[in-house]
């Protein structure tokens, strides 16, 4: 696919006229998808999709078009040329764009993933054999993901990876279930069986009579997966320069004259080096290994797209146009994983949060639900599963004044998001022990 993309782009370069420049961004995948319900298959199939986004620039005018590629060089070549003509026809009707910025220094890169994925038939056999006798519901996605960039200045970048992600739940009854995932590059049956065993052990705990707690403030442990739900919400609009400058970031009070702060143990980075996403973006800029967003609880820097860099007269750090982080890394703390229950003592052990949203964005107050295996803990012992509870709490409490400790280990979480395409977002997060976490319903 890399050769195919480069051939398309090389051909297109010959069709430019005058001072025209183009930027070309490719994303494609070949994915097997299997959907399970009650340890049976509900849907299964394969999706092959390849898209190219072409941006034509002439001076300060530009327009962008995206195409689904067929895989046939002659057809796609013609369609790319037609797209180029269509974009060219738009430019006279567009004003100069004062915020246009693209990379003019050529920086090639290539990261080729090795395909070590299991045969999909073997995966199906292994999964179904292992989960028989349980109410297993889940989703398996597997295959290659390809990203490329090229411009008419000669820059070429390519990134490929071959991953699988099995995301599942074992259900006991109604909404009582254990959620887990096994993701990676190479299937290891021992690891898979171990993950399944851990899930089933938690499922046993869920069979105890469930408890309902009254609304109020509780000491809680938020697992890395639960924290990931909060950071997934924050990622949408909190860390970009545009959101911060236009006061729409949920964290904009961290930049106020009298800034709000998080706990001094909170250091958050966009850790591109440790992630699985490409290091290049749509305008051809290369991302730095790390961008420190929050350091020791204080705002440090933003993710800055080329467009925001022009608008606010700063230097871009290679963020894409959404200015969303895709490889978040929250530094580990000092509290040992094996001490979670004893440190929690009496309170709520939360494995998963669900459906978070803002109840007061300016105050970064977030509401959401507990979901899957959430337990009531007394004197360091799991006593009972908890019926779902709604929380409504500000981040300045959760990771600020009410944060007691972060675990000394991080968990690597690979996003299971498949909207439009398989996500290559990931995160490295510890767990958090939090006091006075407010449940409301």
Shortest separation between residue 360's beta carbon and other proteins, angstroms: 3
State the nearest-atom distance from the C-beta of 176 to other proteins, in Å.
10
Of 168 and 221, which CB lies nearer to other proteins in the complex structure?
168
The distance of closest approach from Cβ of residue 64 to other proteins in the complex, given in angstroms and rounded to an integer, is 5
Q: Which of 153, 290, 390, 409 binds other proteins (CB under 8 A)?
A: 390
- Region 184-223 residues binding other proteins, contact defined as CB under 8 A: none
What spatial distance separates the first Cα and last Cα of the chain, rounded to whole Å? 51
State which residue, 29 or 329, has the beta carbon closest to other proteins.
29
The token duo for 35 is: 């959907």
80 in contact with other proteins (CB under 8 A): no
Cα–Cα dist 70/379, whole Å: 61
Phi, psi (degrees; rounded to nearest 5) at 194: -65, -45
Q: Which of residues 408-427 bind other proteins (CB under 8 A)?
A: 417-420, 422
Subset of residues 19 to 58 that bind other proteins, contact rule: CB under 8 A:
31, 33, 35-38, 40-51, 55
CA separation for the pair 98, 76 (Å, rounded): 32
Can you tell me the distance from the alpha carbon of 381 to that of 375, in angstroms, rounded to the nearest whole number?
10
94 touches other proteins by CB under 8 A: yes
CB of 137 to other proteins, least distance (A): 5
Choose between 128 and 384: whose C-beta lies nearer to other proteins. 128
* Rounded distance between C-alpha atoms, residue 11 and residue 31, angstroms: 28
Give dist(CA 369, CA 379) in Å, integer: 24
Q: CB nearer to other proteins: give 49 or 346.
A: 49
Query: CB 248 → other proteins: shortest distance, Å?
Result: 6
- Please name the residue ranges forming H helices in 275-377: 306-312, 340-344
Residue matched to tokens 């970009």: 240
177 near other proteins, judged by CB under 8 A: yes
The answer to whether residue 392 forms part of the interface with other proteins (CB under 8 A) is yes
- Angle between helix 2-13 and 73-90 (nearest 10): 50
Phi, psi of 49 (to 5 degrees): -140, 140
Query: CA–CA separation, 420 vs 423, rounded Å?
Result: 9
Footprint of other proteins on 293-322 (CB under 8 A):
none
Residues 131-170 that bind other proteins (CB under 8 A): 137-139, 141, 167-169
In the complex, what is the shortest distance from the CB of residue 23 to other proteins, in angstroms, rounded to a whole number?
A: 11
How deeply is 51 buried, as exposed, middle or buried, from its count of CB atoms within 10 A (0-12, 13-18, 19+)?
Answer: middle
Q: Pick the stretch among 66-74, 221-229, 333-341, 426-434 that binds other proteins (CB under 8 A).
A: 66-74
Q: How many residues in the shown chain lie near other proteins by CB under 8 A?
A: 88
d(CA 223, CA 233): 16
> Looking at beta carbons only, is 255 or 274 nearer to other proteins?
255
Largest CA distance in the chain: 75
Residues in 328-367 that interact with other proteins by CB under 8 A:
354-363, 365, 367
Total number of residues shown for the chain? 441
Which of 261, 388, 412, 436 lies at the binding interface for other proteins (CB under 8 A)? 388
Q: Which residues of 419-430 are buried (b: 16+ CB within 10 A; e: fewer)?
A: eebbbbbbbbbb
- Tell me if 378 sits within 8 A of 348, measured CB to CB: no
**Helix intervals (H) in 207-351:** 224-237, 241-245, 306-312, 340-344
- Which residue of 25, 62, 182, 206 would you call a contact of other proteins, by CB under 8 A? 62
Q: What count of Cα atoms within 13 Å lies in the side-chain half-sphere of residue 231?
A: 28
Using CB under 8 A as the binding rule, whether residue 122 contacts other proteins is answered as no
Among 1, 16, 21, 67, binds other proteins (CB under 8 A): 67
Phi-psi region of 298 (alpha: psi -120 to 50; beta: other; left: phi over 0): beta
Give 313 or 420: the residue with its C-beta nearer to other proteins: 420
Closer residue to other proteins (CB): 107 or 310: 310
- Beta carbon nearer to other proteins, 68 or 337: 68
**Binders of other proteins in range 252-291 (CB under 8 A):** 252-253, 256
Q: How far is the CB of 253 from other proteins (least distance, A)?
A: 6
List of residues 6+ apart from 105 with CB closer than 8 A: none
In the complex with other proteins, which residue's Cβ is closer, 169 or 279? 169
Q: x/- string (CB under 8 A) for other proteins, residues 360-379?
A: xxxx-x-xxx-x--------
Identify the residue among 95, 209, 214, 313 touching other proteins (CB under 8 A).
95
């Amino acid at each position: 696919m890399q050769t195919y993309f480069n051939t398309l782009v090389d051909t297109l370069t010959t069709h430019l006229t005058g001072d025209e420049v183009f930027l070309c961004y490719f994303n494609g995948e070949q994915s097997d998808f299997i959907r399970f319900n009650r340890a049976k298959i509900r849907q299964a199939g394969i999706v092959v999709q390849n898209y190219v986004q072409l941006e034509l620039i002439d001076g300060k005018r530009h327009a962008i078009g995206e195409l689904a590629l067929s895989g046939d060089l002659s057809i796609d070549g013609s369609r790319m040329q037609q797209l180029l003509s269509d974009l060219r026809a738009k430019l006279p009707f567009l004003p100069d764009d004062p915020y246009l910025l693209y990379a003019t220094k050529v920086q090639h890169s290539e990261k080729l993933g090795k395909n070590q994925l299991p045969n999909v038939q073997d995966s199906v056999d292994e999964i179904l054999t292992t989960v028989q006798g349980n109410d297993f519901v889940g989703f398996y996605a597997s295959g290659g993901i390809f990203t490329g960039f090229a411009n008419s200045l000669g820059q070429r970048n390519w990134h490929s990876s071959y991953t699988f992600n099995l995301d599942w739940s074992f259900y006991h009854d109604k909404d009582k279930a254990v959620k887990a995932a096994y993701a990676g590059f190479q299937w290891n049956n021992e690891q898979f069986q171990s993950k399944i065993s851990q899930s089933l052990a938690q499922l046993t705990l869920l069979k105890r009579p469930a408890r309902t707690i009254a609304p109020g403030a509780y000491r809680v442990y938020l697992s890395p997966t639960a924290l990931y739900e909060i950071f997934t919400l924050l990622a949408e609009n909190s860390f970009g320069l545009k959101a911060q400058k236009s006061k729409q970031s949920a964290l904009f009070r961290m930049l106020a004259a009298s800034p709000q702060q998080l706990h001094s143990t909170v250091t958050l980075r966009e850790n591109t080096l440790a992630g699985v996403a490409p290091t290049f973006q749509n305008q051809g800029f290369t991302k730095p290994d790390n961008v420190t967003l929050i350091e020791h609880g204080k705002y440090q820097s933003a993710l800055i797209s080329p467009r925001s860099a022009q608008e606010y007269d700063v230097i871009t750090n290679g963020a894409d146009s959404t200015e969303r982080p895709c490889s978040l890394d929250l530094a580990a703390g000092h509290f040992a994983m094996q001490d979670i229950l004893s440190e929690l003592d009496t309170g709520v052990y939360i494995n998963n949060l669900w459906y978070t949203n803002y109840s007061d964005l300016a105050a970064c107050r977030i509401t959401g639900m507990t979901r899957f295996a959430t337990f009531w803990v007394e004197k360091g012992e799991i006593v009972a599963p908890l019926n779902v509870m709604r929380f409504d709490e500000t981040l300045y409490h959760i990771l600020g004044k009410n944060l007691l400790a972060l675990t000394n280990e991080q968990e690597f979480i690979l996003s299971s998001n498949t909207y439009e395409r398989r996500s290559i977002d990931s995160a490295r997060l510890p767990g958090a022990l939090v006091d006075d976490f407010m449940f409301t319903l």
